[in-house]
Amino acid sequence: MTVGEAWRGIAAEEVEEVPADWTGLLRKRTRRLLGSVAAPYKRPLAAVALAIVVSNLAGTAIPYLVGLGIDRGVAGVRHGDYGPVAAITAAILVCAVGQAALYRVFVSGSGRVGQEILLDLRERVFAHFQRLSLAFHEHYTTGRMIARLTSDFESLNDMFTLGLDTLANAVLSVLGVGAVLLVLDLPLGLVCLAGFIPLYFLTRWYQRKSTAAYRATRNAMALVIVQFTESLRGIRAVHAFRRQARNDELFGQLSEGYRAAMSRSFQLLGIYWPGILLVGNLSTAAVLLYGGWRVIDGQMEVGVLASFVLYLRRFYEPLAEVSQFYDSFQAAAAGVEKLAGVLDEEPGVPMPLHGARLPPGGLEGAVRFRNVRFSYRSGVDIIAGFELEIPAGQTIALVGATGAGKSTLARLLARFYDPTEGEVTIDGIPLTALDQHSLRSAVAMVTQESFIFSGTLADNIAFGSPDATEAEVVAAARAVGVDTFAHLLGDGYESDVGKAGSRLSAGQRQLVALARAFLANPAVLILDEASSSLDAPMERLVQSALKTVLAGRTSVIIAHRLSTVEIADRVLVLEGGRIVEDGSPPALLARGSGHYASLHAAWRESLV
């Protein structure tokens, strides 16, 4: 397997994401985003822009004043008239100090506004990521997500801190200086501007090449990031299967690709920068020769020639800097474009701001699936025309073969996804009509892979109920048996559970997740393989706890172990997205030949 083959699949989306061309439509979306984040800062932005324009004008005036000083001031001094030289010196001082002062205003102002804008944008992106549906997160890789919040912002930051400064300086210098040169002396000005013809073509060439080179480096970097994050996220599998050497090799090859791509960009700069230098030096030589000849001929004053030579430096140097700016501009444009792409994603399960009014006593928890059809992104229907009614307070056991659609039903009930057709209601209220707050009190789900966050045991139990008191946390913990190991952790409920709960065993993590759900006290509780990692004695303990916790609460329990299922009032057997059996455990067993009965028989056999 070559590197290309190995990573094509994983990195395809990452690479495609690099805009082939950031003009046209892509730029419109980007512009809209930039416009909206900059809108609250119109005034400070205008002030900053004014500062840099005036600062540049002041700077541009200095060489002109120097020339004037040589021609008029010195001539005046010869006749004993110190007025002109004093006035010109004062003007130069004012310009120099003014330029510096306004430049300071620009640097500190643009830095401050830039950081405020980045802060707003960062908060917006995070909030948006959180609201995007699970369907989005399933296909958006962690590497890409990290890139959005780090390197994209980094590139924007670079543009705010260095790029804008360079660009403003260059554009204003070139325009201002160009105009002054033509006014000072038209023929000599034209000689200077002639240097622009080769520069124009050189710059066009560089832009074209560097856009392609830049894309190549982005793609190569994306591959490196994907390989890096995938390997390290899967570090346990890497160790288990001794994949280190092969991963080293792949990483080496991908990094080599990045090195080669970067090196190609530097080759381009290696032509562009010296090219500018060459044109600049030739122009200066031409100006000195032609200008000197005109001065000797008496067609031009020597001060004007001095101004020209001083101006030429301000003319070509910023151009080399612009090429650097161009790179950071491309990075920022690509970054903003991707951020705009994320912000344009509609949340798949939008919550209303003002949800339906709940009954004063809270929800009772009567669940109904009405003619529900659902498919994941693949478009294949997992369930269709699905009907189910669960009276309030009933404990349902959902059983069925792997892939039957049990977790899918649970996710629809927890509103992780919305049905493609039909609706799911609680007490007659569609889930889509509930706001964030009501939905939280309506349903909670505990899954097999319960996520434990860094922090204390108590923090994790109170995750879904931040207002819970310490006593309530401890009571929930007791109810499911977290107290059996909490005291072993050192600081009891205040113990740090480590990154992703790494200090807890898999079963202990499940208990914490159960406690978390019980504390949240939802009308409908869903347990999807929530006790699968517990040993038999612990499961029995949890089960007896479940009986009290589930009493009077609608609950859906999904489990492969039938021992978990025995506390249910009603068993639903799911097959290929359809309910094939429905009844109380004894009733289904009594049938003797049904799915549940045969599952039960198989389970009994496995026990002996």
| 3-state secondary structure (DSSP) of residue 511 | helix
Cβ proximity to Mg ion: between 403 and 490 the closer is 403
Cβ proximity to Mg ion: between 307 and 532 the closer is 532
| Distance (Å, whole) CA 34 – CA 52 | 20
Q: Supply 20's token pair.
A: 């082939």
Cβ proximity to ligand ATP: between 62 and 404 the closer is 404
User: Cβ 518 to ligand ATP, closest distance in Å?
Assistant: 23
User: Cβ 575 to Mg ion, closest distance in Å?
Assistant: 14
* Cβ-proximal residues to 222 (8 Å cutoff; 6+ apart), any chain: 11, 14, 15, 17, 18, 143, 147
Q: In what order do the strands lie in the sheet with 381-390?
A: 381-390, 367-375, 421-426, 429-430
Single residue of 205, 228, 376, 603 touching ligand ATP by CB under 6 A: 376
Is residue 441 at the binding interface for Mg ion, with CB under 5 A as the rule? no
Single residue of 402, 466, 488, 537 touching ligand ATP by CB under 6 A: 402
Is residue 419 at the binding interface for ligand ATP, with CB under 6 A as the rule? no
Binding mask 225-264 for Mg ion (x = CB under 5 A): ----------------------------------------
Give 597: exposed, middle or buried? Use CB within 10 Å, 0-12, 13-18, 19+.
middle
- The letter for the amino acid at 504 is L
Q: Which does 403 bind (CB under 5 to 8 A by kind): Mg ion, ligand ATP, none?
A: ligand ATP
Distance of CA 291 to the CA centre of its chain: 56
Single residue of 224, 404, 517, 550 touching ligand ATP by CB under 6 A: 404
Which residue carries 């869903």 as its tokens?
Answer: 526
| Pick from 259, 197, 187, 176: nearest CA to 223 | 259
Single residue of 166, 330, 407, 564 touching Mg ion by CB under 5 A: 407
Distance of CA 321 to the CA centre of its chain: 30
Is residue 408 at the binding interface for ligand ATP, with CB under 6 A as the rule? yes
The partner residues of 555 in beta bridges, in order of sequence, read 395, 525
Is beta strand 578-583 parallel, antiparallel or unpaired with respect to 570-575?
Answer: antiparallel
Cβ proximity to ligand ATP: between 330 and 510 the closer is 510
Cβ proximity to ligand ATP: between 381 and 435 the closer is 381
Q: Which does 576 bind (CB under 5 to 8 A by kind): Mg ion, ligand ATP, none?
A: none
Which DSSP symbol is given to 383?
A: E
Interface segment toward ligand ATP; rule CB under 6 A; list 237-245, 267-275, 401-409, 482-490? 401-409
Cβ proximity to ligand ATP: between 459 and 575 the closer is 575
Is residue 557 at the binding interface for ligand ATP, with CB under 6 A as the rule? no
Which DSSP symbol is given to 534?
A: S
Neighbours of 570 (CB within 10 A): 17
Is residue 390 at the binding interface for ligand ATP, with CB under 6 A as the rule? no
Single residue of 138, 248, 256, 344 touching ligand ATP by CB under 6 A: 138
Is residue 382 at the binding interface for ligand ATP, with CB under 6 A as the rule? yes
Interface segment toward ligand ATP; rule CB under 6 A; list 47-55, 107-115, 336-344, 374-382? 374-382
Q: In 523-602, where do the E strands start and end? A: 524-528, 554-558, 570-575, 578-583
Residues near ligand ATP, by CB under 6 A: 138, 376, 378, 382, 400, 402-408
